[in-house]
Each structure stands twice: as structure tokens, then as C-alpha cells.
Amino acid sequence: MKRSTLLTCLVTLMLATSGSAQVDPDPDSIGIYFDLAATTHCDQLAGSDFFELYLLLTNASAEGGVHGWECQIQYDPALLVVGWEAVGYSGSYFTPPDFSLGLENPLPWTPAIHLLTMTCLLISPECAWLYLAPYSLPVIPGQMAYADGADPWNIIPMYASTGGYGIPVAGVNCDCPPPVPATRASWGAVKTLYH
């Protein structure tokens, strides 16, 4: 009895830990999330309330942060984006959803660097997928990229959090796959805790 209770607690703890992990543990990943920690890329929403989505660069390999970035955001017609706020951008002109932004001061390195906030409204209860693609005139052909905060001439490719273009990085009212946990414990690893 005591052993099964301990096993139940351990499995529950593992699920809780993996549920709060970043969706994509790979370096230089870019995705759209419902939270600033990059743990939720899909959600079910109802009604006509405004909500925010966040464009985040996770696990940046450049320790100096981000001095600029470029990508394109695409989304289904069930979603209406009513506001775009680029973090740290003080310029008066950009052309959403096609972004190529230089920043006066670099965004500091964190596990999830907040690049952009999108204020959204659902205009239909249908599934709305969001996608990422390269900027229309990319610095690196066919690639999303960011400039190293410590060396703006160092341009680093960014990779869609789902692994490729044409694959949704986020969904509203969609049947999304579960997030990929940053670490996975095998059944063998769990069993060794009891020996």
C-alpha cells in the first residue's frame, strides 16, 4: 500500500513538472505562446474577450540577448489581431505581420525572450492555427533570424518551435498535440528510485 501511494505521488509529480516545462527545449527556437514562460502553445477560449499571445525566442544560444529579429506571423481567419507591440522597439514604423526590427537596446537573455505581444480577438469559434515563416526579405535566405545582443553583426537562425514551416506553432480552439516536455523520465528511471 505504501509503495503504491509513493508511486502515485511520483507519477503525479512527474506529470506536473513536465506540464510546466517549456514547449520546445531546443536552442534558438521561436514560437507563439499563451504565457511568457513558453509552456502553453494551445488553449480553448470562448466568447468575445480579448486575449494576448506572445512571440518568444526560447533557449537563445547568444548569451547577449537579442538586438533585432525578423520573421513573419501567419494565422487563420477565425482570429483577428487588433494590436501588435514589439518589445523594446521605439521606432514608429513596422509592417505586421511581416517583421524585421532592429532594437536600440538589446533585450536581455532569459530562457524565454519576449519579442512581441499580439492582442487578439476570436471572430469565430472555429480552430485558429498560427504559423511562423521567414521575413519577406530575410537576411539569411529562407530563414528566420535574430541579431546577437552583444554583437549585432552576428546573425543567428531561429527555428520554429514545431520544427518546420507550414506546421502550426500555436492554436486557439484546436485539437493540439500535448507540449513536448524539456526532460522525460523513462519507466526504468522511475523504477530505480525504489531499489
Q: Kindly report, residue by residue over 70-120, the tens digit of the pLDDT.
A: 999 999 999 999 999 999 998 877 899 999 999 999 999 999 999 999 999
111-168 pLDDT tens trace: 999 999 999 999 988 899 999 999 999 999 999 999 999 999 999 999 999 878 889 9
With a cut of 60, say whether residue 171 has pLDDT above it. yes
Per-residue pLDDT tens over the stretch 13-61: 333 333 456 667 899 999 999 999 999 999 998 767 899 999 999 999 9
Domains of the chain (ranges; CATH) run 1-21+179-195 (no CATH), 24-177 (2.60.40.680)
Q: Rounded to whole angstroms, how far apart are CA atoms 168 and 162?
A: 7
Q: How far apart are CA 133 and CA 77, in angstroms?
A: 17
Task: Check if the beta carbon of residue 132 is closer than 8 Å to that of residue 31.
Answer: yes
